[in-house]
Amino acid sequence: MSEDNFLAVADTTDIDLGQSQSVHVNGVDILICHTEEGVFAVEDLCTHAMIPLCGGEIQGNYITCPLHGAVFDLTDGSVQSPPAFEDLRTFELKIEGTMISVKNFKQE
């Protein structure tokens, strides 16, 4: 499969504003997040203690880890607040109609 391909992973009608949905793609858990600025895809794994971010509170473009409270910017994955200090992996996505697709990627 070409890496230019996009893989359908979710539907916008299933993810309300301020909510997220975890999907499993190519062996990676990806969190699809619906924010006021759009929909973003980050790895569903906090870089602090490697637990899922799914269920973390989303405010604006930021998500707060549900375990220890690290904050990440969903637009670029950058860490904004400790105890995490490494950025989140991000994934390119596109939306056609209500279908959310993630660009195919190499496993790390």
Query: Rule CB under 6 A: which residues touch ligand FES?
Result: 46, 48-49, 51, 65, 67-70, 83-84
When computed from its CA atoms, the radius of gyration of the chain, rounded to whole angstroms, is 13
Q: Which is nearer to ligand FES, 66 or 104 (CB)?
A: 66
Minimal distance, residue 50 CB to ligand FES, in Å: 7
Cα 9 from Cα 30, distance rounded (Å): 9
Q: Which is nearer to ligand FES, 28 or 71 (CB)?
A: 71
Minimal distance, residue 67 CB to ligand FES, in Å: 4
Name the burial class of residue 61, with classes exposed (0-12), middle (13-18) and buried (19+) by CB atoms within 10 angstroms of its CB: middle
Q: Which is nearer to ligand FES, 28 or 67 (CB)?
A: 67
- Check if the beta carbon of residue 12 is closer than 8 Å to that of residue 39: yes
